[in-house]
């Protein structure tokens, strides 16, 4: 994840390009997994699929035991520590964020969260390109070509030949 790299070490990563990025692993992993199964076993307040909060229900019955709460809290702490959101104050590298607002895999709210958090630190180092009605990572050929051009132009602008010793994350 390019956001993760730049947030953890902007000195090492001279510029980053994040396409459909996950900013906060706590918020993005709360409700369903890639298999479509719920993650109620590690969540303290799950949401229903239509985004309404449910009551605090605790784990599913087969997961309920005396260690569940500690495991849920440990999983939430690990997700936060693994999130670019936890290190946003270090995110000083130029970064291009590209996201379709109809992304079915990564909620567009992740990009909104990244922009809001960086602005709270007074940052203006993030360039945002939003594709209205576009799915995950640019589904149309026209947008894929445009994204490739944006990425090339952005990296050319922010990385001189001397800086190529630094890592570039895409």
| Rounded Cα gap, residues 141 and 155, in angstroms | 21
Q: What percent of the chain has pLDDT over 70?
A: 75
Average the pLDDT over 13-29 and give the result.
84
The structure tokens listed for 123 are 């940052």
What pLDDT is stored for residue 51 in this prediction? 54
Name which of 42-51, 118-127, 156-165 the model is least confident about. 42-51
| Rounded Cα gap, residues 129 and 167, in angstroms | 23
Q: What is the pLDDT of residues 64-98, one digit of tens each?
A: 788 888 888 888 888 889 899 999 999 999 999 99
Q: What is the pTM of this model?
A: 0.75
| Rounded Cα gap, residues 145 and 147, in angstroms | 5
What pLDDT is stored for residue 160 in this prediction? 72
What pLDDT is stored for residue 165 in this prediction? 46
Kindly indicate the confidence band of residue 9, based on its pLDDT and cuts at 50, 70 and 90: very high
């Amino acid at each position: 994840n390019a956001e993760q790299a730049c947030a953890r070490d902007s000195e090492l990563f001279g510029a980053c390009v994040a396409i459909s990025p996950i900013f906060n692993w706590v918020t993005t992993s709360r409700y369903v997994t890639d298999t479509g199964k719920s993650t109620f076993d590690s969540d303290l307040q799950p949401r229903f699929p239509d985004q309404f909060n449910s009551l605090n229900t605790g784990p599913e019955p087969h997961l309920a035991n005396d260690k569940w709460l500690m495991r849920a809290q440990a999983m939430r702490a690990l997700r936060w520590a693994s999130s670019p959101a936890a290190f946003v104050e270090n995110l000083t590298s130029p970064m291009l964020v590209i996201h379709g607002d109809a992304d079915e895999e990564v909620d567009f709210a992740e990009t909104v969260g990244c922009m809001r958090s960086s602005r709270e630190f007074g940052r203006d180092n993030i360039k945002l390109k939003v594709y209205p009605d576009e799915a995950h990572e640019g589904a149309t050929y026209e947008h894929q070509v445009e994204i490739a051009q944006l990425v090339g132009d952005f990296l050319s602008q922010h990385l001189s030949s001397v800086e190529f010793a630094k890592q570039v994350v895409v």
